[in-house]
């Protein structure tokens, strides 16, 4: 059996899901489950996936700790193929030195318009690490029947849900409470039952019901139920929206500082809306070097000018499927 390892130590929930189609493609190509090294709590998203073998997860993000954790994993087991989305702290070189076959340069080139998870697959196919037949493996998160049933039950008698995800952990990526409130009114007028999700809910949305609480897998199951009821999830470039896309729910992504062409949701059920596409500050291929990303401030306006460019009417039309 070919032993395959994927190293995904970038840190966000969304990063795990960006790597997941590659995990599936590697498993299908080599005919064996793929081990994964990643962070908690995103490791939970891989549970019950038959293409995933052992998951080694750490919660220690401190300097040097992720590499030491990987070294411990590699000391316990030999791999024939190692793929890494992660290069910092010499992790890429460590992976390349630890297996006869490796792919550790998945961010090379990074052309705008090539979605990150699709780009990973294309590069793995170019490198001969996956079979071309699996180079367009869709993103999908596996739920057990019991989990799916629990998600349906938790959603109760909500008939046609619209779930708003206003927070992102980074204010420069957020559309703003007033716009979400106007969107909520429009969605209610279109017959949707509007709910909110996420840890941060702005005051303007405080009167709306919240999505039922639970852990990450329960969230995924509830979002799958939103999808089966003809619902929609609207939010920025953030984990819960990517989870919704991964369980087949229709999503509308609101992209400001991040490029929709790079970080947009690859699901066929996704609408990726880009605010101010021509902003000269945006660096689709080098987000961490982008001025507004590391300062957290837009140089053009008190709030992100790109997100202000996304009119409520445009988002509402995408959400109701016009």
Binding residues for ligand SF4 (CB under 6 A): 172, 256-257, 276, 279, 281-282, 292, 298-300, 304-306
Give the single-character DSSP code of 268. Answer: T
Q: Of 94 and 254, which has the nearer Cβ to ligand SF4?
A: 254
Q: What is the DSSP string of 214-256?
A: --HHHHHHHHHHHHHTT-EEEEESSHHHHHHHHTT-EEEEEES
Q: How far is the CB of 167 from ligand SF4 (least distance, A)?
A: 17
Q: Of 37 and 172, which has the nearer Cβ to ligand SF4?
A: 172
Q: How far is the CB of 272 from ligand SF4 (least distance, A)?
A: 15
Q: How far is the CB of 176 from ligand SF4 (least distance, A)?
A: 13
Through-space distance between the first and last CA atoms of the chain, rounded to whole angstroms: 49
The order of strands in the sheet holding 232-236 is 193-196, 161-165, 232-236, 250-255, 270-274
Q: How far is the CB of 281 from ligand SF4 (least distance, A)?
A: 4
Among 58, 53, 12, CA closest to 32: 53
Burial of 176 (0-12, 13-18, 19+ CB in 10 A): middle
Q: Of 233 and 306, which has the nearer Cβ to ligand SF4?
A: 306
Q: How far is the CB of 282 from ligand SF4 (least distance, A)?
A: 4
Q: Of 120 and 255, which has the nearer Cβ to ligand SF4?
A: 255
Q: How far is the CB of 305 from ligand SF4 (least distance, A)?
A: 4
Q: How far is the CB of 300 from ligand SF4 (least distance, A)?
A: 5
CA distances from 179 to 200, 287, 312, 315 (A): 15, 25, 6, 10
CA distances from 177 to 133, 196, 234 (A): 44, 11, 13
Q: Of 218 and 282, which has the nearer Cβ to ligand SF4?
A: 282
In the block, which residue shows the tokens 């949707």? 192
Q: Of 132 and 296, which has the nearer Cβ to ligand SF4?
A: 296
Q: Of 133 and 301, which has the nearer Cβ to ligand SF4?
A: 301
Q: What angle do the packed helices 239-246 and 13-30 form, to 10 degrees?
A: 30
C-beta of residue 227 within 8 angstroms of C-beta of residue 156: no
Tell me if residue 307 falls in helix, strand or coil. Answer: helix
């Amino acid at each position: 059996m070919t032993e395959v390892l994927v190293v995904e130590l970038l840190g966000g929930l969304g990063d795990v899901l960006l790597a997941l189609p590659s995990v599936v493609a590697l498993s299908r190509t080599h005919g064996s489950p793929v081990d994964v090294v990643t962070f908690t709590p995103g490791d939970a998203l891989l549970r019950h996936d038959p293409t995933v073998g052992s998951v080694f997860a750490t919660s220690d993000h401190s300097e040097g700790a992720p590499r030491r954790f990987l070294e411990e994993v590699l000391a316990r087991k030999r791999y024939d193929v190692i793929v890494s989305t992660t290069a910092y702290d010499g992790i890429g070189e460590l992976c390349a030195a630890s297996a006869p076959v490796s792919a550790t340069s998945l961010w090379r080139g990074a052309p705008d318009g090539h979605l990150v998870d699709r780009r990973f697959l294309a590069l793995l196919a170019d490198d001969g690490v996956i079979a071309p037949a699996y180079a367009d493996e869709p993103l999908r998160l596996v739920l057990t029947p019991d989990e799916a049933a629990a998600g349906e039950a938790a959603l109760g008698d909500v008939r046609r849900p619209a779930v708003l995800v206003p927070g992102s952990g980074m204010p420069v990526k957020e559309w703003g409470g007033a716009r979400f409130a106007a969107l909520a009114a429009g969605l209610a007028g279109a017959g949707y039952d509007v709910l909110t999700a996420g840890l941060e809910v702005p005051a303007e949305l405080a009167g709306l019901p919240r999505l039922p609480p639970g852990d990450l897998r329960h969230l995924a199951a509830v979002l799958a139920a939103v999808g089966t009821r003809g619902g929609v999830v609207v939010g920025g470039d953030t984990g819960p929206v990517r989870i919704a896309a991964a369980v087949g729910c229709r999503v509308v992504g609101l992209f400001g500082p991040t490029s929709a062409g790079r970080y947009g949701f690859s699901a066929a059920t996704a609408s990726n809306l880009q605010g101010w596409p021509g902003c000269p500050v945006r660096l689709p291929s080098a987000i961490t070097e982008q001025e507004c990303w590391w300062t957290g401030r837009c140089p053009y306006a008190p709030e992100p000018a790109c997100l202000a460019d996304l009119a409520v009417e445009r988002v509402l039309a995408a959400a109701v499927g016009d």
